[in-house]
Amino acid sequence: MAANKLSEYTITEAVRGRIADTPNPRLKQVMQSLINHLHEFAREVQLTPEEWNAGIEFLTSAGHITDDKRQEFILLSDTLGLSALVDLMHHRGESDRTTESSLLGPFYRSGAPELAPGSDISNGTAGEPLMIRGRVLSSDGTTIPGAVVDVWQAAPNGLYDVQDANQPEINLRARFRADAHGRFDFRTIKPASYPVPHDGPVGKMLSSLGQHPFRPAHIHFIVSAPGFETLTTALYIAGDKYLGSDAVFGSRPSLVVDYRDASANGSDAIEFDFVLAVR
């Protein structure tokens, strides 16, 4: 059969037609829409071969720098706001009574140890001491005994343990189990704002766009309990200058917290109740 002559406008339907028999309906829907938007983008900006080759080189560089401790493609998705968009769409329509989600980020590690209430997760890392306490609640206001609070954060130097050979293994990471009244508490050190890794292709992209790479100071949480939707979120520190320009669009006004004076315990404190949606 002779090949049909293609033009810059007929190529899109030709590619869509090639995958028309994709057995998986959702895969077919996603791929056909992706083809539509990619082709329309190229036509809209009149993409040149040189520019597209530069794009391929950019993606290749992102692949080369990615390893078990650094995920440049997650960073790319985050800095383009795509991760935030997917998260916001996934949680659309949730009750205002539940705690808002935030991004997982590229530095989560499973398997953090479960520690006793009141334990210090800083492993002697230098910094200003901080107490964190609160409750885990259902959206109807009842407490959730035994809920698991998985926490991780960067050190004051802006690095997570997986980025910093000078930090102890599994540093500033732990899991805590809420007591019979849904309460939890632990000790740590105050977080600081920090730049996302910007020595690779994503960092060069941000610089070319005139954007900074900084995230506001925050602490990550995953809160889970049987019968409830797992919550991935973070608490952001009030007054941080990057709250309104978070490089990965992760900060949320409802998740901004103030330090409270807890001088009797020798540190400031954060008090926050996490509210989970019933599954």
Q: How many helices (H) and strands (E) would you count in the chain? A: 6, 12
pLDDT of residue 95: 75
Looking at residue 92, what is its pLDDT?
Answer: 87
Cross-strand bridge partners of residue 194: 215
pLDDT attached to residue 2? 57
Instruction: Yes or no: say if 139 and 275 are a contact pair by the CB < 8 Å rule.
Output: yes
- Residue 149's pLDDT is 98
**Amino acid at residue number 161:** D
Note the maximum CA span of the chain: 84
Q: Counting beta carbons within 10 angstroms of the beta carbon of residue 172, is it exposed (0 to 12), middle (13 to 18) or buried (19 or more)?
A: buried
pLDDT of residue 262: 66
Q: What is the pLDDT of residue 86?
A: 95
The arrangement of secondary structure in 76-276, i.e. its CATH architecture, is Sandwich (2.60)
- DSSP assignment of 172-226 equals TEEEEE--TTSEEEEEEE----EEPP-SSHHHHHHHHTT---EE-SEEEEEEE-T
- Please give the chain's pLDDT, 279 residues, in tens: 556 789 999 999 999 999 999 999 999 999 999 999 999 999 999 999 999 999 999 999 999 999 988 899 999 999 999 999 999 999 887 778 899 999 998 899 999 999 999 999 999 999 999 999 999 999 999 999 999 999 999 999 999 999 999 999 899 999 999 999 999 999 999 999 999 999 999 999 999 999 999 999 999 999 999 999 999 999 999 999 999 999 999 999 999 999 998 665 678 999 999 999 998
Angle at 60 between CA 205 and CA 160, to 5 degrees: 65
- Total-model pTM: 0.91
CA–CA dist 86, 199 (Å, integer) = 26
∠ CA 95-106-192, nearest 5°, is 85
